[in-house]
Amino acid sequence: MARETHLETTIGTSLVRAVADAKVLMVGAGGIGCELLKNLVMSGFKNIEVIDLDTIDLSNLNRQFLFQKQHIKKSKAHVAKESALAFNPNANIISRHQNIKEQEFSVDWFKGFDLVMNALDNLDARRHVNKMCLAANVPLIESGTAGYLGQVTVIQKDKTECFDCQPKETPKTFPVCTIRSTPSTPIHCIVWAKSYLFGLLFGNAEDDDDEVLVKEDSNDDDIAKELAALAAESQALKEILASMDTEGFAERVFNKVFFTDIHRLRSMEDMWKTRKPPTPLKYDEILHQTEDLPGAMDATTLEAVTLKDQRVWTLRETVQVFSESLEKLSTRLKEMRETDPEASVQFDKDDAETLDFVTATANLRAHVYGIEEKSRFQVKAMAGNIIPAIATTNAIIAGMMVMLAFKIINKRLADCKTSYLVYGRHRPQLIVSEPLAKPNPKCYICRNSYLAIKTDTKTTTVQDLIDLLEGYSISDVEIQESGRVIYDPDFDDNASKTLVSLQLTDGKFVEVVDEDDRKIILCLKDVDMDSLDGERFQIEGDVEEALEQQTQMKQQLRDAEAAEQQAAHVHEEDPDVIMTDDNRKRKHDEISGPTSGTSGSGEEAPLKKSSLTSTAHPPLAEDEVGNGSSTEQAVDVDEVVMVDGESFNVVVLD
Ligand SMILES: Nc1ncnc2c1ncn2[C@@H]1O[C@H](COP(=O)(O)OP(=O)(O)OP(=O)(O)O)[C@@H](O)[C@H]1O
Ligand SMILES: [Zn+2]
């Protein structure tokens, strides 16, 4: 029987043909990606390009089933391709071991696909692909999982919400003084070890302490003084760094961080009126203790390694791990700096030495402050913000992605929905769906018009660009690139500079806002002058149409704001009116009429999306609609899976 026979019976001959012709880009070949690639080749997709920047790690094997032990350290993309071909040798798969953000993956390159599917694990890459798909006007299927929760949705320029239409939650931050002086929970110690001490020892001198630390109100005198003292302490530690990789380095670092600094802090009596003061530790005193070692530290058997990971180390063991990991990381850094003086070691939960160092230093600090210590396994989860990945969740989400892909290829966007996997809730159903929401009129990413513009960036100046825009009555412009002001009517220093001298090169997005607040994004294509038929620029797309679209969008925005104000007014007048937020209004403003459900019970329960987390996934459902009734009962998604009962655990990884 031909391979396609069952498929034709299920989805019809014409769709099977369209699927076979479609060109699909899959970004990410990890947990979701492996499932997805297998699904794609098994459901008739023949032209697939897969990209992943990473190599295979031992910890991937339990769920990324296209990979096996012999593939460790090999490219995920290449191995995924080879393994998937075993499922269907007729597929044409191009694999790339690269970052999707590389310049060669231009808007034009994206335009070569009928569909893009994201199977990513971080906000940055998702945002990038979102923008590229908007600029190229290619539909994007976005996915994410977190433990037992999952989500899948479709993004199509001007028709649906984009990835950035909803504001994203910033990473959880901690006040500087809590982390640097007054920790009270294990996570404070872990953040200190991972984000402060690790960076100071193995990062670049210019690196900021860390983005997770927020400065407290500097008007407060005590805090300002304490911050100054902390800065001086950091400086003193940097001086010790000069002796890195020499005899006694570990002891010097240890005594500085866990004795001298703690001693100073302890002397600040006001700080300890309501808190338990910290107790300084001395390196040699601990190592000379005759403590009973459980004997697992040097053991290499699986059982012993597991034990080492899962039990809390004794103080002496912790100091030993501190010393050994510091030594290894120092040697590594020294070797790296022989070829690149700016090199740094980054914390990676899967890098045993970095994890050892963070576990040891976090626990030493916890010991100093009388805070509960954690096992290496627990520290790994907390430092990596890990929620265990569940293979079944990935499989279900990847299955739903293919269902959406069929609809998109079949030109039935109206049938697509956002679906949530909500296992383990009080709801009776596993999957709930809602209509795709319309774009947020205030979105600063998808409410722009994108035009590709060809020019020779070596000879074209900013003034040439301004002249071109003036020709379209786009005047008094402000020009920016990635938040950098290139030109505005009060800042014309760059006018005579060439684009290339301002790093406005091939693939860059140049944002132009005119006096009427119309925003056009120009996607630069660097070409030789000879190819431009005597012109300085060639614009792909219709500028007039883009301007008209912008004018309409501005009007929509004004209408939406007027409606909002009116609604707020009604709300003020009548306290019984329950307000819905503007997002929810859009959600119920379906793209078209009722559709055949993608999955679940078909119930159109109003769901509330949580905002995105820093490194991880698209919004996850916060919904609970009890027993099919329409009463909403919001549940905070972050409460669902927590490691060791710590409330910090808001970031989600699959
Ligand atoms: N900018 C990017 N370009 C290409 N691939 C990317 C990019 N960012 C992330 N990825 C890939 O997306 C995939 C996401 O998969 P997944 O969430 O399962 O991550 P993982 O690293 O394999 O697992 P875990 O984080 O749980 O150890 C990873 O393989 C990662 O390498
Ligand atoms: Zn948007």
Point out the ligand nearest to the CA of residue 105. 1
Per mean pLDDT, which of 336-350, 455-469, 537-551 is the most reliable?
A: 455-469
Widest pairwise Cα distance in the chain: 84
Interval 422-478: pLDDT, tens: 876 666 788 999 999 999 988 989 988 999 999 999 999 999 999 999 999 999 999
Q: Which of 177, 189, 416, 523 is catalytic?
A: 177
Residue range 313-341: mean pLDDT, rounded:
92
Q: 308 vs 150, which has greater pLDDT?
A: 150
Q: Is the CB of 186 under 6 A from ligand 1?
A: no
| pLDDT given at position 466 | 95
- DSSP state, residue 461: B
Higher pLDDT among residues 90 and 170, named by residue: 90
pLDDT of residue 608 exceeding 60: no
How far is the centre of ligand 1, averaged over its atoms, from the C-alpha of 317 (Å)? 34
Q: How far is the CA of 619 from the centre of ligand 1 (A)?
A: 18
125 and 151 in contact (C-beta within 8 Å)? no
Q: CA–CA separation, 269 vs 257, rounded Å?
A: 19
Q: Is any atom of ligand 1 closer than 6 Å to the C-beta of 147? A: no
CB 139 within 8 A of CB 619: no
Q: Give the pLDDT score at 301.
A: 55
The answer to whether the pTM exceeds 0.80 is no
Contact 627, 428 (CB under 8 A): yes
Q: Do domains 5-166+389-435 and 184-370 have the same CATH topology?
A: no
CA distance between the termini of the chain: 38
In this structure, the residue with its CA closest to atom 16 of ligand 1 is: 30
The whole-number pLDDT of residue 152 equals: 98
Q: 267: which residues sit within 8 A by CB, 6+ positions away? A: none
* Per-residue model confidence (pLDDT) at position 350: 87
Rounded Cα distance, 628 and 607, in Å = 13
Report the relative pairing of strands 23-27 and 47-51 from DSSP bridges.
parallel
CA-derived radius of gyration, the chain: 28
Annotated binding site for ATP: 28-33, 52, 60-63, 76, 121-126
- Cα 330 to Cα 187: distance, rounded to the nearest angstrom: 25
Tokens describing residue 377: 């396994």
Q: How far, in Å, CA of 614 to CA of 386, rounded?
A: 13
What count of Cα atoms within 13 Å lies in the side-chain half-sphere of residue 401?
A: 36
* pLDDT tens-digit series, residues 379-399: 998 887 767 789 999 999 999
Tell me how far the alpha carbon of residue 84 lies from the centroid of ligand 1, in angstroms: 18
Annotate 139-185 with DSSP letters as a single string. -EEEEEEETTEEEEEEE-TTTS--TTSSPBPPPP-EEHHHHHT---S
Residue listed under structure tokens 């520290």: 379
Which residues fall inside 5 Å of ion ligand 2, going by CB? 162, 164-165, 443, 445-446
Average pLDDT over residues 308-315: 87
Mutate to test the pocket of ligand 1, among 121, 131, 652 (most ligand atoms within 8 A of CB): 121
In the chain, where are the structural domains located? 5-166+389-435, 184-370, 449-554
CB 434 within 8 A of CB 606: yes
Q: Is the beta carbon of 51 within 6 A of some atom in ligand 1?
A: yes
pLDDT, position 581: 42
Q: What's 184-370's CATH class?
A: mainly alpha
Taking CA atoms only, the protein residue closest to ligand 1 atom 3 is 99
Q: What is the pLDDT of residues 266-286, one digit of tens each?
A: 988 877 887 889 999 999 888
3-state SS, residue 316: helix
Average pLDDT over residues 103-111: 93
CB of 385 sitting under 6 A from ligand 1: no
Nearest CA to ligand 1 atom 10: 28
Residue 76 alpha carbon, nearest atom of ligand 1? 29
62 lines ligand 1 (CB under 6 A): no
Q: How far is CA 39 from CA 25, 42, 401, in A?
A: 14, 5, 9
Q: Quote the ligand 2 centre to 163 CA distance (angstroms).
A: 6
pLDDT band at residue 593 under the 50/70/90 scheme? very low
Bridge partner residues of 150 (DSSP): 145, 421
The answer, yes or no, to whether any atom of ligand 1 lies below 6 A from the CB of 49, is: no
Query: Does position 53 have pLDDT exceeding 50, yes or no?
Result: yes
pLDDT at position 269? 82
Distance CA 268, CA 225 (A): 11
- CB-based contact 93:85 (threshold 8 Å): yes
Closest CA to 28 of 118, 89, 104: 118
Is residue 208 over pLDDT 50? Answer: no
Q: How many other C-beta atoms lie within 10 A of the C-beta of residue 103?
A: 10
- 573, pLDDT greater than 70: no
Question: From the centroid of its chain, how far is CA 153?
Answer: 17
**What is the arithmetic mean of pLDDT over 8-23?**
95
| Selected residue with higher pLDDT from 72 and 566 | 72
Whether the CB of 150 sits within 6 Å of ligand 1: no
Tokens 């919004």 belong to which residue?
Answer: 619
645 CA distance to ligand 1 middle (Å):
26
Show Cβ contacts of residue 503 under 8 Å, excluding neighbours closer than 6 positions.
481
327 lines ligand 1 (CB under 6 A): no
pLDDT digits (tens, 9 = 90+) for 211-248: 445 444 444 566 666 677 777 877 888 888 888 878 88
Any idea which ligand is nearest the CA of 446? 2
Higher-confidence residue of 492 and 575: namely 492
Q: Tell me what pLDDT residue 568 has.
A: 75
Which residues does residue 275 pair with via DSSP β-bridges, in sequence order?
none
The ligand 1 atom nearest the CA atom of 59: 27
> Is residue 53 lining ligand 1, measured as CB closer than 6 Å?
yes
**Count, residues in the chain:** 654
523 in catalytic set: no
What's the pLDDT score for residue 584? 40
CATH architecture designation of domain 449-554: Roll (3.10)
Q: Which amino acid is it at 35? A: E
Mean pLDDT of 124-142: 96
Q: What is the CATH number of domain 5-166+389-435?
A: 3.40.50.720
Tens digits of residue pLDDT in 628-654: 222 222 333 333 333 333 333 333 333
User: Which residue's C-alpha comes closest to atom 19 of ligand 1?
Assistant: 30
**Eight-state DSSP code of residue 568:** H
Q: Mean pLDDT over residues 405-410, rounded?
A: 98
Q: How confident is the model at residue 290 (pLDDT cuts 50, 70, 90)?
A: low
Return the SS3 of 96.
Answer: strand
DSSP-derived pairing of the beta strands 149-155 and 417-422? antiparallel
pLDDT at 428: 74
Nearest CA among 475, 446, 441 for reference residue 564: 441
* Average pLDDT value for the chain: 81
Tokens, residue 590:
């379906």
Cβ-based neighbours of 541, under 8 Å, separated by 6 or more: 450, 451, 452
Ligand nearest to the CA of 162: 2
- In this structure, the strands spanning 431-435 and 417-422 are antiparallel
Long-range contacts formed by 282-288: CB under 8 A, 24+ apart: 282/255, 283/250, 283/251, 283/254, 283/255, 283/258, 283/259, 283/319, 284/251, 286/315, 286/316, 286/319, 287/316, 287/319, 287/320
Nearest to 489 by CA among 466, 510, 520: 466
**622 pLDDT above the threshold of 80:** no
